[in-house]
């Protein structure tokens, strides 16, 4: 029998969305013929093709860009149409806001099942005006066509989605546990010399200003930002090391040699880096936003903070919480093993794709 073809469109081909597509499509390609139409971003790995199974077809969309441009977006629409006509998919899955808006308009009357995953709605961004937030939310509502199902990537994102459309479900993100083969997961916490890390793009979303303020409060603690980005100059404290962009294996090796993982994000979908830190048995301290709080339950498998002072107090208290830490770390690790992994995620997607 011929395998069903799934065509994924993604403009934001980097960071967590890139990892999500790698994990999902590599799991699905035994049963489906996979095509990914992508746009390049600065954070797209230079050797991105090596992350994917060789059976997966990768197609570059030349005119994808993050900002709104009538000319470029029209050209991107025409590219998407040509690609879909050539591939003739059985299923179309749109990923990220830009591909989601363009694709839902283009395929609003499609006879092929169409799905959309936002990976963090644009109207939740903290670096835009209230007018833009209202405009982006209006766009999401206007393009929530009845024949297109939204698959949120966390329960929190699903709750927001229900305000926009009734045709919605969710599948929690998951990481590929095989990625950790060869990574030393036996790091022993040194409470006298803690190492604190975060992982991701140095952008407003990840709140480097707050990360810097936390580091300022602990001048004798080593902080490491695994990644790079446009707001690198906000990390001014001498005890912060910035690795620059590195491949996934190198990033995990950096993370392996730390004790605490903090995520100061202003908004999230469901962060892959957090799941990686949980699996690697790091003490996880995160901001109180959708995505983070879907995974971390305060004082059960990590800690949730709602201000910079909360983060500082929690880091200070880690040494006195030693007795409860082993159970907390084990609970976080087990949550990933039992639920937040790519096998579980792919099986949930198979159910949704099969029903359609």
Per-residue pLDDT of 16-71, as tens digits, reads 899 999 999 999 999 999 999 999 888 888 899 999 999 999 999 999 987 777 88
How far is Cα of residue 198 from the mean position of the Cα atoms in its chain? 14
- By percentage, how much of the chain surpasses pLDDT 90? 80
Report the pLDDT value the prediction gives residue 347, as an integer from 0 to 100: 97
* Domains of the chain and CATH, by start: 4-174+341-355 (3.40.50.2000), 177-338 (3.40.50.2000)
CA distances from 215 to 12, 239, 241 (A): 30, 7, 11
Question: pLDDT digits over 288-347, tens only?
Answer: 999 999 999 999 999 999 999 999 999 999 877 788 899 999 999 999 999 999 999 999
pLDDT at residue 1 tops 90: no
Report the pLDDT value the prediction gives residue 338, as an integer from 0 to 100: 96
The 3-state DSSP class for residue 197 equals: strand
Q: Tell me the two tokens of residue 209.
A: 């200003």
Mean confidence (pLDDT) of the chain: 94
Report the pLDDT value the prediction gives residue 329, as an integer from 0 to 100: 95
Q: Rounded to a whole number, what is the largest CA-CA distance in the chain?
A: 63
Report the pLDDT value the prediction gives residue 198, as an integer from 0 to 100: 98
List the beta bridge partners of residue 226.
199
Cβ–Cβ under 8 Å, residues 244 and 228:
yes
Report the pLDDT value the prediction gives residue 356, as an integer from 0 to 100: 64
Q: Rounded to two decimals, what is the model's pTM? A: 0.88
Instruction: List the Cα angle 187/21/169 in 5-degree steps.
Output: 105
Question: pLDDT digits over 234-251, tens only?
Answer: 999 999 999 998 988 999
pLDDT at residue 192 tops 70: yes
Burial tier of 348 (Cβ tally within 10 Å: 0-12, 13-18, 19+): middle
Mean predicted confidence (pLDDT) in 221-241:
96
Instruction: List the Cα angle 60/61/66 in 5-degree steps.
Output: 120
Question: pLDDT digits over 311-326, tens only?
Answer: 999 999 987 778 889 9
DSSP 355: H
Long-range CB contacts (within 8 A, 24+) of 313-322: 314/285, 315/194, 315/196, 315/214, 315/217, 315/218, 315/221, 315/260, 315/262, 315/285, 318/191, 318/194, 318/260, 318/283, 319/191, 322/191
Residues in the chain: 356
């Amino acid at each position: 029998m011929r395998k069903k073809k799934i065509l994924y469109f993604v403009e934001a081909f980097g960071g967590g969305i890139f990892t999500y597509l790698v994990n999902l499509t590599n799991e699905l390609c035994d049963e489906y013929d996979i095509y990914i139409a992508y746009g390049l971003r600065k954070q797209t790995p230079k050797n991105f093709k090596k992350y994917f199974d060789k059976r997966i077809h990768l197609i570059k969309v030349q005119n994808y860009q993050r900002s709104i441009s009538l000319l470029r977006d029209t050209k991107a629409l025409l590219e998407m149409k040509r690609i879909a006509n050539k591939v003739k998919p059985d299923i179309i899955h749109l990923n990220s806001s830009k591909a989601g808006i363009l694709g839902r308009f283009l395929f609003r009357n499609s006879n092929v099942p169409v799905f959309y995953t936002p990976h963090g709605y644009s109207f939740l961004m903290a670096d835009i005006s209230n007018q833009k937030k209202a405009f982006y939310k209006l766009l999401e509502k206007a393009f929530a066509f009845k024949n297109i199902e939204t698959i949120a990537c966390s329960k929190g994102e699903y709750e927001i989605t229900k305000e926009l459309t009734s045709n919605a479900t969710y599948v929690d993100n998951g990481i590929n546990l095989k990625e950790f083969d060869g990574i030393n997961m036996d790091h022993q916490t040194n409470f006298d010399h803690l190492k604190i890390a975060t992982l991701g793009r140095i952008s407003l979303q990840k709140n480097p200003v707050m990360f810097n303020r936390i580091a300022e409060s602990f001048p004798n603690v080593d902080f490491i930002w695994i990644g790079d980005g446009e707001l690198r100059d906000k990390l001014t404290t001498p005890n912060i090391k910035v690795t620059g962009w590195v491949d996934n294996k190198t990033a995990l090796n950096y993370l392996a040699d730390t004790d605490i993982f903090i995520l100061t994000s202003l908004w999230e979908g469901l962060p892959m880096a957090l799941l990686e830190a949980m699996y690697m048995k790091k003490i996880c301290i995160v901001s109180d936003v959708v995505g983070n709080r879907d995974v971390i339950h305060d004082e059960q498998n990590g800690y949730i903070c709602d201000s910079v002072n909360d983060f500082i107090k929690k880091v200070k208290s880690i040494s006195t919480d030693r007795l409860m830490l082993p159970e907390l770390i084990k609970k976080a690790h087990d949550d990933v093993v039992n639920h937040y992994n790519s096998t579980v995620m792919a099986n949930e997607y198979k159910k949704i794709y099969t029903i359609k």
